[in-house]
Amino acid sequence: MSHTCRIELDGKTHDFPIIQGTENERAIDISALRDRTNYITLDDGYGNTGSCKSAITYIDGDQGILRYRGIPIEQLAENSTFTETAWLVIWGRLPTQEELTRFSHRLTQNEMMHESLRSHFQGFPPNAPPMAILSAMINAMSCYEPEMMDIEDETTLERAAARIISKVRTVAAASYKMSIGQPLMYPHPEYKYCENFLHMMFSLPYREYIPSPEVARALNLFLILHADHEQNCSTSTVRMVASSQANMFASCAAGVCALWGPLHGGANVAVIEMLEFIRQSGMNVAEYVSRVKAKDTKLRLMGFGHRVYKNFDPRSKILKAASDKMLAKMNISDPLLDIALELEAVALQDPYFVERKLYPNVDFYSGIILRAMGIPVNMFTVMFAMGRIPGWIANWKELHDDPKSRIYRPRQIYTGNTIGDYTPIEQR
Ligand code: CMC
């Protein structure tokens, strides 16, 4: 393999180093390109641009491989908990029993919101989107612990990470309670992470909800599968904000905003809306697929396609198997699941989807499993955010710990007006 890439520009040749990752992915290191040639590269949507080197998550989109810190997602889904996976993603290896106990203890210590933070919820209208509340509240919670905004040592970092991971769960459940006009529930100190979230979502002051082991396990699985996914839109946003040396809370709050859109985390809501639309319209699945293919609107088959996976998203396989098992165990039959299965079967045989390598992604089945848990649709993207927080923190930490990190500052090719004079208003 050549170790350099030769580029010829304006009659001159320039050599740029080739760098290789631990899984043999290769890149041309063009960091000196502009200095040496006065050219920049243009890569709309960044499909060919590596924005950083990272040791957190590995994806092979052609083979449908996903690993956190080297461990296959299938093994984590089978054996781990969200708390343990969060630690792995952030600190780079599986925790010892002592480390896991300490971290779990920190999560419990941080589960309550500051009492005055509870009053912030009153400022939102009852139908406020929970993603808006979540983003605002992550920034608001940092104001109560200003020392966490300036992380100088590992202990403060662990405390800040535990604080965000734990409180996001409390804020998420509270935003749901507010939206349905029920009293906010306090966390239960005896419950583990997932049970506690379900308790705060579904208990009432006079009626305690006891989460079933199946539901708690399904939630653990959902959160593990969402814990990180390398340089996607929201994680790149977190790194972008962090590169200005903004604090961890501000960076994660920005991640929530980026995740909100329907082409990213919001797709799990869009999938359910699409399945509901097909069910209620009485349209058959093939007809809906034809509409998508006609491309006369912006209509897409939501939950299909991925920038990186050109094969099955491994997370969707795991979620599909888990939702089948859970629905059978809970004796639930969901008509939307039947439509989803039909849609998948039609799309996987259709040349439009086959040629473009469009396969079901994580959001295709996540809505089905969340519905079975009783989670309302407007909370789906918040659930994704809860899961992704460890990945955002890990990326924030990686950048923060790198002595060579620089502020992210892309260039552009200007296509606007060339120079013109200011015209006084009466002459326009
Ligand atoms: N339905 C119909 N056509 C599609 C779809 C789809 N879901 N996805 C891509 N295409 C077509 C697209 O129209 C284009 O066709 P052509 O070559 O004729 O112009 C081709 O496939 C390539 O599409 P693209 O927009 O260049 O692909 P991208 O890498 O920019 O977009 C994506 C990736 C995930 C935004 C896109 O596949 C999509 O919009 N999917 C639906 C939304 C969705 O499920 N998002 C969740 C992604 S997974 C979770 C996450 O990361 O947040």
How confident is the model at residue 1, as a pLDDT? 66
- C-alpha 14 to ligand 1 mean position (Å): 36
Are 298 and 183 contacting, i.e. CB atoms less than 8 angstroms apart?
no
**How far apart, in whole angstroms, are the C-alpha atoms of residue 323 and residue 359?**
18
User: How many other CB atoms sit within 10 Å of the CB of residue 117?
Assistant: 18
The mean pLDDT value for 301-313 works out to 90
- C-alpha 358 to ligand 1 mean position (Å): 8
**How far apart, in whole angstroms, are the C-alpha atoms of residue 25 and residue 21?**
5
User: What's the order of all strands across the beta sheet hosting 26-28?
Assistant: 4-9, 12-20, 26-28
Say if residue 2's pLDDT is above 80: no
pTM (2 d.p.): 0.94
Q: What is the pLDDT of residues 60-79, one digit of tens each?
A: 999 999 999 999 999 999 99
**How far apart, in whole angstroms, are the C-alpha atoms of residue 273 and residue 16?**
48
How confident is the model at residue 151, as a pLDDT? 83
Q: What is the pLDDT of residues 123-172, one digit of tens each?
A: 898 889 999 999 999 999 888 878 778 888 888 899 999 999 999 999 99
265 lines ligand 1 (CB under 6 A): yes
How many distinct helices (H) and strands (E) make up the chain? 18, 6
Q: What is the pLDDT of residues 362-386, one digit of tens each?
A: 888 898 899 889 999 999 999 999 9
How confident is the model at residue 397, as a pLDDT? 97
Nearest residue to 143 (alpha-carbon basis) of 114, 178, 107 = 114
How confident is the model at residue 18, as a pLDDT? 96
**How far apart, in whole angstroms, are the C-alpha atoms of residue 68 and residue 89?**
6
**Residue with the nearest Cα to atom 34 of ligand 1?**
306
**How far apart, in whole angstroms, are the C-alpha atoms of residue 82 and residue 121?**
27
Are 267 and 302 contacting, i.e. CB atoms less than 8 angstroms apart?
yes
| Pairwise pLDDT comparison (329 vs 10), residue with the higher score | 10
Which tokens belong to 98? 């002592």
118 lines ligand 1 (CB under 6 A): no
Residue 66 CA neighbour count, 13 Å, CB half: 27
Nearest residue to 285 (alpha-carbon basis) of 353, 380, 333, 378 = 353
- C-alpha 307 to ligand 1 mean position (Å): 7
307 lines ligand 1 (CB under 6 A): yes
How confident is the model at residue 146, as a pLDDT? 80
- C-alpha 306 to ligand 1 mean position (Å): 6
66 lines ligand 1 (CB under 6 A): no
Helix (H, G, I), strand (E, B) or coil at 205: coil
> How much helix, strand and coil, in percent to the nearest 5, is found in the chain?
55, 5, 35
**Residue with the nearest Cα to atom 25 of ligand 1?**
307
**How far apart, in whole angstroms, are the C-alpha atoms of residue 163 and residue 231?**
24
Helix (H, G, I), strand (E, B) or coil at 59: strand
Which residue's entry shows tokens 């419950």?
A: 191
How confident is the model at residue 420, as a pLDDT? 96
How confident is the model at residue 336, as a pLDDT? 87
Interacting residues of 204 by C-beta distance below 8 A, sequence separation 6+: 182, 183, 185
Burial of residue 361 (number of CB atoms within 10 Å: 0-12, 13-18, 19+): buried
309 lines ligand 1 (CB under 6 A): no
Q: Taking the CA atoms of the chain, what radius of gyration do you get in angstroms? A: 23
The mean pLDDT value for 247-256 works out to 96
Q: How confident is the model at residue 399 (pLDDT cuts 50, 70, 90)?
A: very high
Active-site positions? 306, 363
